[in-house]
Amino acid sequence: MFTIIDLWAGAMTGAFSYWIIIAILAVNFVFIMTLIFMERADPRSTVSWIIILVLVPILGFIVYLFIGQTFYRNKQFQLKKKDDDRLLLAKEKVIELLRTREKEDMPAEEREIYRVGESLMNAGGSFFTENNDVELFTEGEKKFERMFDDLRRAKNFIHIEYYIIRNDLLSYEFMDILIDKVKEGVKVRLMIDAVGNNKGPKKKIMEFKKAGGEFATFHKTVTVLLSPKKNNRNHRKIAVIDGKIGYVGGFNIGDEYLGKGPLGYWRDSAVRVEGIGVYTMNLRFMMDWDYATKKMLSADEKYYPEMEQNPAWTQKFQLISGGPDTQRNPIQTEYLKLINIAKKSIYIHTPYLIPDTTIRDALILAGFSGVDVRIIMPDKPDHPFVYWAGLAFAGQLIKDGSVRVYNYNRGFVHSKTMVVDGKYCSVGSANLDERSLKLNFETNGVVYSDEIGKEMMDAFMEDLSYSSEYTEEMYDHRSLWVRIKMGVSRLAAGLL
């Protein structure tokens, strides 16, 4: 009887013996059992890996070692989690404070905000903070102009954590500012993801270090390319100036984020925060810096300066971070919570639409409940597999008519935002895909604000005028070639 063993033995004649082929298949069988019984991976990714390991045992075995297996995460990231937990002990005091704020005579909407904040803290989010001033940016030029001005005014310290800093004109301007501040005596720490730093401004970074600036990569550049950890990228974008001003969002640093790249006009989002919420950004940076450098920064008051209480600062802010060092990803919980509390509308920007089943079903259920659910995604790929997988998942969402999906035709939408009922606003680095919800280290800022909510809704409606709806008819009438690309891309997405 002709078997898969005969097939592989025939294909490998002269290279491997029959018994070596059997040994390879046996090893693959062990990995398959490991996937099923020990790693407890997502069923969809488990099935995808089983297919790969059965069809291409040798190549599948190698690929699985590099990007599939997850045993190393518990060992590699448990120390990081312990340090993070130790630094977050004060969270219990903040939760107690929130509960005392919930008065019986408090309006129901206000009480709901406090309860959402408490639930996200319990799920692993940061402190819920009040008395903040938040400014929204939807274009790169305004964001970088404002941030660069803040950097030039820094007096004490600057903490920067980005996924990518390009080797181009905007990045040179950015690095020159940091170098000048170091020479002025300002303490400047800069951290970039090791993979994202591959095309970074190497000469400028050397000049920065020579001037006295502190530089680190999240994971070591030399070893990460030979390690499964290259799949766990630090995708966060955080900047803290003097502990009083903070930025979080989706922009990396480079000319393309000004719309000067091959994808054209760049639609992204970020927020600038003044107030107590900046403390949580700085704490996030310090925890990541400790992990990357093994040099823990002291909780010195210079890093958490006393904030003046400005009566005009009324916005509530909370930082939500997630990654492979968390047992239940707080960002996934954040997205699910915001979707589930929606009563009127859910408007989402995402460049990568590959939600897991829980988020997909929550969006569909919200639509069935009468909530206006709309999603804007790109009409062109920056990563082809992700783009075609996104269109396949879009087809699932629009099938029942409860969710509407639009392709952005003006350029490229890189924004990762969600605004619910015009007052719950998420702006950050986390895409609506399984990479952001499983593998990457991500950070979102949640703003509880009618004012910011209105700005985000207005921006979303403007973006709709530059978008075309992806309809069920378009999905049903895909060509055979498009169906193949979607199928292969969905399988590839399932490997994460």
Write out the catalytic residue numbers. Answer: 235, 237, 242, 414, 416, 421
- Phi, psi angles (nearest 5°) of residue 215: -130, 140
Start-to-end CA span in the chain (Å): 36
- Could you tell me which of 145, 219, 143 has the C-alpha nearest to residue 427? 143
Q: Helix H segments across 184-314?
A: 202-211, 221-224, 277-293
What beta strand segments (E) does 353-454 contain? 353-354, 372-378, 403-408, 411-413, 417-420, 424-428, 432-433, 442-448
CA angle 14, 63, 58 (to 5 degrees): 20
Whole-angstrom distance, CA of residue 297 vs CA of residue 285: 10
Tell me how crowded residue 354 is: count the other CB atoms within 10 A of its CB. Answer: 26
Structure tokens at 132: 């903040």
Let me know how many helices (H) and strands (E) the chain has, helices first: 19, 19
The angle at the Cα of 68, spanning 66 to 69, to the nearest 5 degrees, equals 90
State the Cα–Cα distance between residues 446 and 134, nearest whole angstrom: 11
The answer to whether residues 249 and 160 touch, using CB atoms and an 8 Å cutoff, is no
Q: Give the other-Cβ count within 10 Å of 417's Cβ.
A: 26
3-class DSSP assignment, residue 131: strand
**Under 8 Å CB-to-CB from 315, ≥6 apart: which residues?**
132, 133, 134, 275, 447, 448, 449, 451, 452
**CA dist., res. 45 & res. 41, Å (int):** 7
Distance CA 178, CA 187 (A): 10
Mapped to the 3 state alphabet, what secondary structure does 290-330 carry?
Answer: HHHHCCCCCCCHHHCCCCCCCCCCCEEEEEEEECCCCCCCH
Say whether 343 sits in a helix, a strand or coil.
Answer: coil
3-state secondary structure 46-104: HHHHHHHHHHCHHHHHHHHHHHHCCHHHHHHHHHHHHHHHHHCCCHHHHHHHHHHHCCC
CA distance 454 to 48: 42
The amino acid that residue 282 corresponds to is N
